[in-house]
């Protein structure tokens, strides 16, 4: 029995160490290759080596549990097993089986591959002078997997002894349900003759011919046993036990595997250690050598520093795609979520469960995020979400509500929040990543949270007053009552509303506190008989007849009003306008920050008086090995959070496992319209965010090196630009790298351009004239940007701009800045960095906010132009730059604007500088909007605000000027409050918090 226990312990050692290193290094092996090998060895060790066979088993075999030993005649009946089949025809256990863990002896435990027998073959016999017993070298095979073990003659004898014990146990009627059921299931007629252990052994094995004969007989015996037993043995993966020993490598701490004690093996990795205890020094040495060999062969790429100091290596030929603004991004995310088969990973700075990923909303709640996740969870997909746990006094994103809402949807949706501010003493830093990973094969990475206010398109609308306006309802009512021709009425969301009869009450505008009345309600008309949804314009697409009638009704009504607008949707063409932003999604956070997030469909600002703030953002998607790397980062954070927070240590929150890179290219789903690129995943991570001993700032390093190596131009879009290190308040070197590159170009007398697009104001609630955090951030931004680099010629090299737009709301002209939330760098039309990292110390230094980014380097080129010369530009980078330039310069509406050559004087001065300057001048005249370079101090600010603009004095003249606006680009007002000290006053709350908060 002692030998049995020893060998059983060694078996579980196999489990722990090999899965330990699978999770540690994400080595180039299937997760289930190692798992199955370990289980096979475990079962064979338990069933073949720890038992002994009798020469004659006929007396006791009748009482054996035929299900356990696989002797039943019913074994030919197909048993439903959750297995997949690859193109080669070899079955494999799906990765999702890691979440269906049961005890090793449970009947439902899935140990073996379907239709893949376990075979055993004795390859060699080793003889030693000091040890007379020979050692048999045995090869075990199961499917594509091979394992080699060494066993002595006594282990074969042990097999017989334990089988006898088992048979005897089956004869004893123990008072347990499982034992009784097992005994009842035995059918004597189904019992077959077990292979017998060959006679002989002991001293007879001293002769060579006896050893050779024994080798053949043992091999035959093992084969006969396995033919019977491989399929129905009671075994299990017992992954829940193994996964608790999952670690990650630290690239700065070399992997170590050594024996500190005589019979102990210590494995050091990722600032932790695993101690394996063995019965002898020889066993410990064998294990150490095997582990070292395994790591050298398969873990090299995961245990060393890569370019930019990143945890991930460069991956070639990765299908990649970029996104400008949230519309196409969220649509592709929704489609990818629908294709998920095993896992979904999501981490965001802020997540709003009720947002619609596809708009306009014409299919009810089908494409609402929480409904998608609930639908996939019901299909068996495991969903894991990590949210930033905010300091509630400082932020109102209410992550507790998001977690509670998601957790209530389905038991397979698991949500963690991090950090715990008290226990970890982390109050200043945030998890700022935005990641969605599907089956560890498709990964979305960028700056777009799945949250309110993020959905937008290239139009950047300011208004969204609903499906129809009151003037449209009036025109439709008049058209229905009489055939008399009526005056043509606009149906646009920006049109003014005329006074109508107050006959019928429309639903009260939630959050505003007033009722709008009209004679005819289109909403009540088209909703009659339809399935109710949470959104005012949500329509259940499953009712095709009602949808058809609704389309006909809208067509007739809008035709009578004399103005028809067409919308292409996923369910056909709808006539008229629709609401794109519902409830809290219609926002202007500078005017008012979000409140009452637990009431998602209640408006919190009056959309009839206040324009929304458009959102400009960038994101991307990668596949294959790059997606595996993004998943590895998520898994590392998840497992670290599970370890650190006691509330997540229960089995209801499982440890996650990374998939192998060797199968990364077997894509079951790929986002359409991708381009092949070379990709490397970057991040900002530290001990508090990911549990690593030495922080990583590979995003910062990549920015600096790409800027330094750029030859023609740099294009940057970023939410912040706080750089130009003074080693006192600001430490990141990105601004310095830009200045050094411009100075080098000036000395070499070469053409070089730098384009920077950033928000005109920081994203803080409040009036710009009252100071606060907005002014503090503006101070550091101006400090970074307002630095002449090459005397007075700096404008020939760098242009700093923002975005602004205008519209008509309720009969009056309105304007608002477009909030630039992008984190984008394009260099020379061949290199792109997209991620979540802002240009400030919080994002770049690694020790503060956690971030993820991706650097793309084109492997496919396309003909282009650079300074009037032919140029081979990268397909990925060029298309992205053209989309950005055309959007912000208005080239989609004005084909005369040429954006093909990014550095020529004709483009830089006559297009970029000219449009941005003209747009800024017109907005100053019409709206007298802030910030403005005409305001250098607070006295001028008061005078500037007291004078009305043309929008109020002469709306006709104002409209004429606004028609000259092209795109959204405006020059950044570098002179705004340049004569004022924008540092917070002593005693204010902004002055009381550390400066690092703002930088």
Report the greatest alpha carbon distance in the chain.
Answer: 117
Cα–Cα separations (whole angstroms), residue 224 to 192, 193, 197, 229, 867:
12, 10, 11, 9, 77
For residue 618, the cross-strand partners are 324
Which ranges of 544-623 does DSSP label H, i.e. alpha helix?
A: 544-561
* Residues 6+ positions from 945 with CB-CB distance below 8 Å: 769, 928, 930
* Residues 6+ positions from 792 with CB-CB distance below 8 Å: none
Which ranges of 347-391 does DSSP label H, i.e. alpha helix?
A: 369-378
For residue 721, the cross-strand partners are 839
* Residues 6+ positions from 320 with CB-CB distance below 8 Å: 620, 621, 622, 623, 626, 674, 675, 676, 677, 679, 856, 876
Distance (Å, whole) CA 837 – CA 852: 7
Token pair of 573, please? 């063409």
The number of angstroms, rounded, from the C-alpha of 339 to the middle of its chain's C-alpha atoms is 15
Distance (Å, whole) CA 769 – CA 767: 5
Catalytic residue among 449, 456, 585, 828: 828
Does the active-site annotation cover 828? yes
Query: Which of 260, 264, 266, 433 has its CA nearest to residue 349?
Result: 433
Catalytic residue among 65, 158, 348, 439: 439
Query: Which of 594, 568, 564, 585 has its CA nearest to residue 576?
Result: 564
Distance (Å, whole) CA 170 – CA 122: 32
Under 8 Å between Cβ of 82 and 99: no
Q: At what angle do helices 914-927 and 955-962 cross, to 10 degrees?
A: 170
Task: Name the CA radius of gyration of the chain, rounded.
Answer: 34
Does the active-site annotation cover 439? yes
| Sheet strands (E) in 686-820 | 696-697, 713-718, 753-757, 798-809, 812-817, 819-820
Torsion of CA 733, 433, 761, 879, to 10 degrees: 80
Phi, psi dihedrals of residue 584, rounded to the nearest 5°: -70, -15
Give the helix/strand (H/E) hosting 631. Answer: helix 624-644
3-state secondary structure of 863: strand
Catalytic residue among 218, 374, 432, 659: 432
Distance (Å, whole) CA 545 – CA 542: 9
Token pair of 455, please? 């959905």
Distance (Å, whole) CA 699 – CA 445: 13
Catalytic residue among 234, 645, 823, 886: 823
* Residues 6+ positions from 125 with CB-CB distance below 8 Å: 134, 135, 136, 137, 211, 212, 215
Angle ∠(268,272,276) on CA atoms, nearest 5:
55
Does the active-site annotation cover 432? yes
3-state secondary structure of 329: helix
Q: At what angle do helices 369-378 and 326-338 cross, to 10 degrees?
A: 10
Phi, psi dihedrals of residue 620, rounded to the nearest 5°: -155, 170
Cα–Cα separations (whole angstroms), residue 987 to 481, 983, 984:
66, 12, 9
Catalytic residue among 234, 460, 712, 821: 821
Token pair of 337, please? 């979520």
- Residue count (the chain): 999
| Sheet strands (E) in 103-162 | 118-126, 135-142, 145-152
Which ranges of 113-207 does DSSP label H, i.e. alpha helix?
A: 153-171, 177-184
Does the active-site annotation cover 434? yes
| Sheet strands (E) in 253-412 | 256-258, 264-269, 272-277, 315-324, 343-348, 382-388
Give the β-pairing of 91-92 and 618-623. unpaired
Count other Cβ atoms within 10 Å, centred on residue 936.
Answer: 16
Catalytic residue among 155, 403, 431, 434: 434
Question: Annotated catalytic sites, by residue?
Answer: 432, 434, 439, 821, 823, 828
């Amino acid at each position: 029995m002692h030998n049995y226990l020893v060998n059983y312990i060694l078996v579980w050692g196999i489990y722990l160490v090999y899965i330990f290193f699978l999770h540690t290094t994400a080595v180039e092996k299937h997760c289930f290759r190692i798992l199955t090998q370990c289980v096979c060895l475990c079962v064979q060790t338990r069933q073949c080596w720890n038992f002994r066979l009798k020469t004659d088993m006929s007396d006791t075999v009748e009482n054996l549990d035929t299900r356990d030993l696989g002797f039943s005649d019913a074994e030919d009946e197909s048993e439903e097993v959750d297995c997949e089949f690859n193109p080669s025809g070899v079955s494999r256990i799906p990765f999702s089986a890691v979440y269906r863990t049961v005890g090793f002896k449970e009947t439902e435990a899935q140990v073996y591959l379907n239709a893949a027998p376990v075979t055993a073959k004795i390859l060699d016999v080793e003889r030693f002078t000091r040890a007379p017993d020979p050692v048999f070298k045995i090869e075990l095979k199961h499917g594509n997997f091979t394992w080699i073990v060494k066993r002595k003659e006594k282990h074969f004898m042990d097999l017989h002894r334990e089988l006898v014990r088992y048979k005897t146990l089956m004869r004893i009627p123990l008072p347990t349900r499982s034992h009784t059921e097992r005994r009842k299931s035995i059918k004597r007629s189904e019992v077959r003759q077990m292979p017998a252990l060959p006679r002989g052994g002991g001293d007879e094995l001293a002769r060579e011919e006896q050893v050779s004969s024994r080798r053949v007989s043992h091999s035959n015996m093992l084969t006969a046993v396995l033919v019977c037993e491989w399929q129905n043995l009671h075994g299990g993966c017992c992954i829940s036990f193994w996964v608790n020993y999952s670690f990650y490598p630290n690239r700065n701490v070399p992997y170590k595997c050594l024996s500190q004690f005589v019979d102990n093996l210590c494995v050091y990795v990722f600032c932790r250690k695993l101690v394996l205890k063995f019965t002898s020094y020889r066993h410990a040495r064998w294990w150490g050598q095997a582990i070292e060999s395994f790591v050298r062969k398969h873990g090299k790429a995961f245990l060393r520093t890569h370019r930019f100091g990143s945890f991930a290596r460069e991956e070639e030929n990765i299908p990649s795609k970029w996104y400008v603004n949230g519309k196409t991004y969220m649509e592709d995310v929704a489609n990818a979520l629908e294709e998920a088969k095993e896992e979904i990973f999501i981490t965001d700075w802020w997540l709003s469960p009720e947002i619609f990923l596809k708009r306009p909303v014409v299919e009810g709640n089908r494409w609402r995020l929480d409904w998608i996740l609930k639908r996939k969870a019901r299909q068996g997909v495991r969903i894991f979400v990590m949210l930033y746990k905010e300091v509630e006094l400082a932020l109102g994103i209410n992550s507790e509500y998001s977690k509670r809402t998601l957790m209530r949807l389905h038991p397979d949706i698991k949500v963690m929040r991090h950090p715990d501010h008290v226990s970890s003493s982390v109050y200043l830093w945030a998890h700022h990543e935005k990641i969605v990973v599907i089956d560890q094969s498709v990964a979305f990475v960028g700056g777009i949270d799945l949250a309110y206010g993020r959905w937008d398109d290239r139009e950047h609308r300011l208004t969204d007053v609903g499906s129809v306006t009151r003037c449209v309802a009036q025109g439709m009512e008049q058209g229905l009552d009489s055939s008399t021709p009526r005056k043509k009425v606009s149906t646009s969301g920006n049109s003014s509303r005329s006074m109508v009869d107050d006959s019928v009450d429309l639903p009260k505008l939630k959050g505003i506190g007033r009722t709008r009345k009209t004679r005819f309600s289109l909403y009540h008309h088209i909703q009659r008989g339809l399935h109710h949804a949470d959104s005012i314009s949500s329509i259940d697409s499953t009712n095709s007849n009602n949808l058809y009638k609704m389309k006909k009704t809208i067509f007739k009504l809008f035709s009578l009003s004399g103005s028809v607008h067409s919308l292409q949707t996923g369910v056909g063409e709808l006539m008229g306008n629709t609401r794109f932003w519902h409830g809290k999604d219609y926002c202007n956070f500078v005017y008012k920050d979000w409140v009452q997030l637990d009431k998602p469909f209640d408006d919190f600002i009056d959309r009839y008086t206040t324009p929304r703030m458009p959102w400009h953002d960038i994101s991307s998607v990668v596949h294959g090995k790059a997606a595996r790397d993004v998943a590895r980062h998520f898994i590392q954070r998840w497992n670290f959070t599970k370890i650190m927070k006691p509330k997540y240590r229960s089995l209801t929150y499982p440890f996650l496992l990374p998939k192998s890179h060797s199968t990364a290219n077997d894509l079951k789903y790929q986002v359409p319209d991708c381009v092949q690129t070379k990709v490397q995943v970057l991040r900002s991570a530290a001990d508090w965010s990911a549990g690593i001993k030495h922080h990583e700032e590979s995003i910062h390093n990549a920015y600096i090196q790409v800027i330094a190596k750029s030859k023609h131009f740099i294009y940057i879009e970023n939410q912040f630009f706080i750089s130009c290190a003074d080693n006192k308040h600001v430490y990141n070197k990105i601004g310095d790298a830009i200045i050094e590159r411009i100075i080098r170009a000036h000395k070499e007398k070469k053409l070089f351009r730098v384009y920077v697009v950033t928000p005109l104001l920081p994203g803080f609630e409040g009036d710009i004239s009252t100071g606060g955090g907005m002014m503090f951030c503006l101070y550091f931004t101006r400090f970074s940007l307002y630095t002449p680099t090459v005397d007075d010629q700096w404008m020939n090299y760098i242009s700093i701009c923002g975005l602004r737009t205008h519209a008509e709301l309720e009969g009056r002209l309105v304007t608002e800045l477009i909030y630039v939330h992008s984190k984008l760098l394009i260099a020379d039309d061949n290199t792109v960095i997209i991620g979540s990292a802002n240009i400030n110390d919080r994002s770049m230094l690694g020790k503060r906010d956690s971030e993820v980014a991706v650097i793309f380097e084109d492997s496919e080129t396309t003909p282009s132009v650079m300074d009037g010369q032919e140029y081979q530009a990268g397909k990925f980078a060029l298309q992205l730059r053209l989309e950005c330039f055309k959007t912000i310069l208005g080239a989609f509406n004005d084909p005369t604007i040429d954006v093909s050559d990014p550095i020529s004087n004709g483009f830089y001065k006559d297009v970029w500088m000219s449009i941005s300057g003209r747009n800024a001048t017109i907005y100053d005249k019409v709206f007298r909007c802030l910030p403005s370079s005409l305001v250098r101090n607070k006295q001028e600010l008061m005078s500037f605000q007291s004078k009305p603009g043309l929008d109020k004095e002469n709306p006709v003249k104002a409209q004429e000027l606004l028609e000259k606006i092209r795109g959204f680009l405006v020059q950044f007002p570098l002179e705004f409050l340049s004569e004022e000290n924008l540092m917070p006053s002593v005693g204010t709350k902004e002055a009381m918090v550390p400066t690092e908060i703002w930088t």
